[in-house]
Amino acid sequence: MAIHLKLNTLYHCSRSFGTAQPCPSYFNLTFFHFHRHHYPFSKTILKHNSAASTVVSRRALLSSDAALFQDVGATVFLITGGYSLVSVFDNLTHRKIISQNLSRKLVHIISGLLFVAAWPLFSASPEARYFASLAPFINGLRLVVNGLSLATDEGLIKSVTREGKPKELLQGPLYYVLILALSSIFFWRDSPVGLLLLAMMSGGDGIADIMGRKFGYVKLPYNQKKSWAGSISMFTFGFLISMGMLYYFSVLGYFQFDWNLTAQRVAVVSFVATVVESLPTTEQIDDNISVPLATLVTAYLCM
Ligand SMILES: C/C(=C\COP(=O)(O)O)CCC[C@H](C)CCC[C@H](C)CCCC(C)C
Ligand SMILES: Nc1ccn([C@@H]2O[C@H](COP(=O)(O)OP(=O)(O)O)[C@@H](O)[C@H]2O)c(=O)n1
């Protein structure tokens, strides 16, 4: 009789615990399935395996608890951070230190980039991505409740809308947080596509607005509402932020890149996203949908 040890879910948590060790997903604890085969095995070996499996299962349970606490802590940090960010910019707008438009754009840039930068705080458990998505989903709920005027959070409305109308929360800001949530679920730390998508939406598109409003005297020939300064800024900063994000995650061990090839590919992705953002289609489709979509398709085709 042979013992065939089948571990249900084993996840190597190199980062979370500093050493590569088996770490099960906490909701999908490792269940040891013993399949008895008809091979001669002495009781001693059976006892040894049984004792060993008890040790491993205890360690697995401990590491799964640690992973759960780690993910809950990181989620609380993100949610708290999101609320704090909005209230800081509400304060700055209220005290007229910055304009409402600049406040919205800085929240647009900072929230998305810090959200992604915080992904390594989560454990290596398969469920970690869902915990991370809670922060944008909870903010989305907040945007819907205030956008439908079921509640009135003046600070939120002032710091993330153009004209201070609650209904505005149901457009750009809501699409934005939904893209954050979906990117963490479908791409997470497993694919550079999600990083590029958020770098272009948060960093590139956000900076295009700031630079375009400030220096956008020369308009684009095909779109009088957008300018060369805005688009060139989107391409340049979108590229740099994307490369910075890829470098950050590669230093943490999530990816390894051929940087020359990657730079060329990211340049193509940034260019396509910039062209899409410059098109006169904002009335039909929000930039917070068109830019991530263009980035996603181009990154899939060339990354
Ligand atoms: C203002 C925003 C989008 C509007 O975009 P646009 O219409 O100008 O193109 C961003 C809305 C952000 C949201 C209210 C808060 C999101 C917080 C995020 C999920 C978590 C950030 C955590 C970090 C540690 C600060
Ligand atoms: N490529 C771009 C993007 C924005 N902008 C400037 O930024 C303003 C807001 O751009 P937008 O309509 O894309 O703003 P959001 O939809 O991102 O909030 C535009 O009206 C332009 O003044 C630009 O000049 N060039």
Q: Are residues 168 and 204 in the same domain?
A: no
Pocket test for ligand 1, best of 146, 160, 169, 287 (most atoms within 8 A of CB): 160
Q: What is the pLDDT of residue 220?
A: 98
Helix (H) or strand (E) holding 26: none
60 lies in a domain?
A: no
In this predicted model, which residue has the larger pLDDT, 236 or 65? Answer: 236
Last residue in a domain, options 147, 178, 209? 178
**Ligand 2 neighbours by CB, cut-off 6 Å:** 172, 205, 208-209, 212-213, 216, 225-227, 230-231, 234, 277-278, 282, 287
Do both 158 and 216 map to the same domain?
A: no
Residue 58 domain flag: no
Does some domain include residue 76?
yes
Is there a domain that residue 36 lies in?
Answer: no
Residues 30, 53 contacting (CB under 8 angstroms): no
Identify whether residues 149 and 214 lie together within a single domain.
no
Q: Is residue 23 one of the residues assigned to a domain? A: no
Q: What is the distance between the terminal CA atoms of the chain, rounded to a whole angstrom? A: 49
d(CA 73, CA 68): 8
pLDDT of 6 higher than 50: no
Q: What is the mean pLDDT of residues 234-260?
A: 97
Give how far the C-alpha of residue 140 lies from the chain's centroid of Cα atoms, to the nearest Å. Answer: 14
Domain shared by 108 and 164, yes or no: yes
List CB contacts of 279: < 8 A, sequence separation 6 or more.
222, 223, 290
* 258 and 196 both lie in a single domain: yes
Residue 270 lies in domain: 191-303
Asked if 217 and 298 sit in the same domain, the reply is: yes
Give the pLDDT confidence score for residue 37 in this predicted structure: 37
| pLDDT band, residue 65 (cuts 50/70/90) | confident
The chain-wide mean pLDDT, for the chain, equals 86
Does residue 250 fall inside a structural domain?
A: yes
For ligand 1, the distance from its centroid to the CA atom of residue 129, given in whole angstroms, is: 18
- Show the CA angle centred on residue 243, arms to residues 110 and 100, nearest 5°: 20
Nearest CA to ligand 2 atom 11: 209
**Whether residues 77 and 152 fall in one domain:** yes
Q: Do 161 and 248 fall within a single domain?
A: no
> What mean pLDDT comes out for the span 201-217?
97
> What is the mean predicted confidence (pLDDT) over 260-286?
95
The verdict on residue 103 lying in a domain is yes
Domain count for the chain, please give it.
2
| Whether 73 and 153 share a structural domain | yes
Percent of the chain, pLDDT > 90? 73
Domain-terminating residue out of 115, 150, 178: 178
Same domain, 251 and 151: no
**Domain end call among 126, 143, 178:** 178
Q: Are residues 113 and 140 in the same domain?
A: yes
For 90-144, write each residue's pLDDT tens digit: 999 999 999 999 999 999 999 999 999 999 999 999 999 999 999 999 999 999 9
Ligand 1 atom with the shortest distance to the CA of 287: 9
Distance 300 CA to ligand 1 centre (A): 25
Q: What is the arithmetic mean of pLDDT over 200-223?
A: 97
Sign for the CA dihedral angle at 295, 297, 298, 301 comes to positive
- Model confidence at 2: pLDDT above 50: no
State the pLDDT at residue 261. 96
Predicted confidence at residue 47, as pLDDT, reads 55
**pLDDT, average across residues 40-64:** 64
| Residues 213 and 236 grouped into a single domain | yes
Task: List pLDDT tens digits, range 274-301.
Answer: 999 999 987 889 999 999 999 999 999 9
Mutating to test ligand 1, I would choose from 103, 108, 114 the residue with most ligand atoms within 8 A of its C-beta, which is: 108
Alpha-carbon torsion angle 294, 129, 115, 65, nearest 10: -170
| Per-residue confidence (pLDDT) for residue 257, from 0 to 100 | 94
**pLDDT of 10 over the 50 cut:** no
The per-residue pLDDT for 42 is 46
pLDDT tens digit sequence for 135-173: 999 999 999 999 999 999 998 998 899 899 999 999 999
pLDDT tens digits along 32-49: 333 333 334 344 444 566
Provide the pLDDT confidence category of residue 25 given band limits of 50, 70 and 90: low
Q: How far is ligand 2, taken at its centre, from the CA of residue 270, in Å? A: 16
Q: What ipTM was assigned to the predicted interfaces of this complex?
A: 0.96
**Residue at 173 is within a domain:** yes
Question: Ligand 1 pocket: which residues have CB below 6 Å?
Answer: 78, 81-82, 85-86, 104, 107-108, 111, 114-115, 118, 135-136, 139, 160, 172-173, 176-177, 180, 287-288
